[in-house]
Homo-oligomer: A and B are copies of this chain.
């Protein structure tokens, strides 16, 4: 299993009528990612409002995504469950439906210590042969895992083989690279830190941005890889305000507003999340008009 480049994150559309998952619109979202030529698709991450789905909805979205992608690119399934039992159950489900990889973050009500986290990951690893991307996102999951600890898991738990870092601290990536002699693949999960993450050696960039700005993240990735630094810097700063905006105004709400702005209304986020305010919606519209006229 070798993933690199742009890993695209679909949002999960809900029907405006009955609030159910809208699979036709989900297909459109995935098609949009294919148009953006993403290198992999990660369903049921933060952008996908996975935390707000019932278990059955979660299963259906996972299954639908795997089928619809149909092996054109690898499919990663996100798992962020409160209990180990639930996480194991979902890992098994992901395996059964043919996912290529799982991306696993702890999700906390209580603080967990490293011993608890290690056993959590170990149990999930024992449940299936799927490769595991360890996902650190303290802002959403409430737990912050150090580079040292994540590398310890990679070295001691059989299926854990890569790391997605979303803490927003570039030093974490330096530590991962340095402590593993550049041998453990890591991915950027903080949109507005993409330039430095890629320069620091990230294998790829996990992002919902291609839902709205197409191949531009890919162009940035390519420019860094080819040493075109001026171009990379220019591309990054073109996208910067937008990348920061979607993070700070809420990924799901922002991306869904963006779809509506670009002519494909797919509904709003699930409550308690609210759609963007009219003011933010207009800000996003201005950004997208500018960005999408560039190419």
Contact = CB atoms under 8 A, between A and B. Distances in A.
A11 to B, nearest CB: 12
A182 interface: yes
Interface string A111-122: 111011101100
Label chain A's interface by main secondary structure: helix
Interface residues of A, number: 60
Interface of A: 19, 46, 51-52, 80, 82-85, 106-113, 115-117, 119-120, 123, 139-142, 168, 170-171, 174, 177-178, 182, 192-193, 195-196, 199-201, 224-225, 227-230, 232-233, 237, 240-241, 250-252, 270-274
Contact of A195 (B141, B199, B252, B274): B199
The 4 closest A-B pairs by CB, nearest first: A196-B196, A51-B109, A84-B271, A227-B227
A219 to B, nearest CB: 16
26 contacts: A19-B85, A51-B110, A52-B82, A52-B83, A80-B109, A83-B270, A84-B272, A85-B270, A107-B109, A110-B140, A110-B252, A110-B273, A111-B139, A111-B250, A112-B272, A113-B274, A119-B271, A119-B274, A170-B196, A174-B237, A178-B237, A182-B237, A196-B199, A199-B229, A199-B232, A225-B229
